[in-house]
Amino acid sequence: QSVLTQPPSVSAAPGQKVTISCSGTSSNIGSNYVSWYQQLPGTAPKLLIYENNQRPSGIPDRFSGSKSGTSATLGITGLQTGDEADYYCATWDSSLSEGVFGGGTKLTVL
């Protein structure tokens, strides 16, 4: 049972848009920055979004992040088959004094 709650799976057609939610509490998402990661099959995770809505250099603007209260959202537009991967949200939990990840969301591009 992960501290941050994500849907297990989402799917959409190529070219479409998808959003992935990440729900937490006031002690984690509500008071700390959220980051998002993409993990392609058999590879290490890669940072997609940091500090709620910032993209590292090299990450296309098809990927976006937002946060409101105790929830965060990752948006992906112009879906490509290469976007099929597992996506994770993460942040610090000030009450637990631990880093916390969501359970992950598997994106399928139909």
Partner 1 sequence: EVQLVESGGGLVQPGGSLRLSCAASGFTFSNYWMGWVRQAPGKGLEWVAHINQNGGEKKYVDSVKGRFTISRDDAKNSLYLQMSSLRAEDTAVYYCARLGSSITCHYWGQGNLVTVST
Which residues form the interface with partner 1 (CB under 8 A)? 2, 32-35, 37, 39, 44-47, 50-51, 56, 86, 88, 90-92, 96-104
| Alpha carbon 39 to chain centroid, angstroms | 11
Min. distance of Cβ 98 from partner 1 in angstroms?
5
Q: Which is nearer to partner 1, 13 or 57 (CB)?
A: 57
Half-sphere exposure (Cβ direction) of 50: Cα atoms closer than 13 Å: 6
**Residue 81 CA: distances (Å) to CA of 14, 85, 110:** 7, 9, 8
Q: How far apart are CA 98 and CA 92, in angstroms?
A: 6
| Structure-block tokens of residue 28 | 């984690």
Q: Which is nearer to partner 1, 79 or 102 (CB)?
A: 102
Min. distance of Cβ 64 from partner 1 in angstroms?
16
Q: Which is nearer to partner 1, 40 or 110 (CB)?
A: 40
Min. distance of Cβ 16 from partner 1 in angstroms?
25
Q: Which residue has the tokens 């992950």?
A: 104
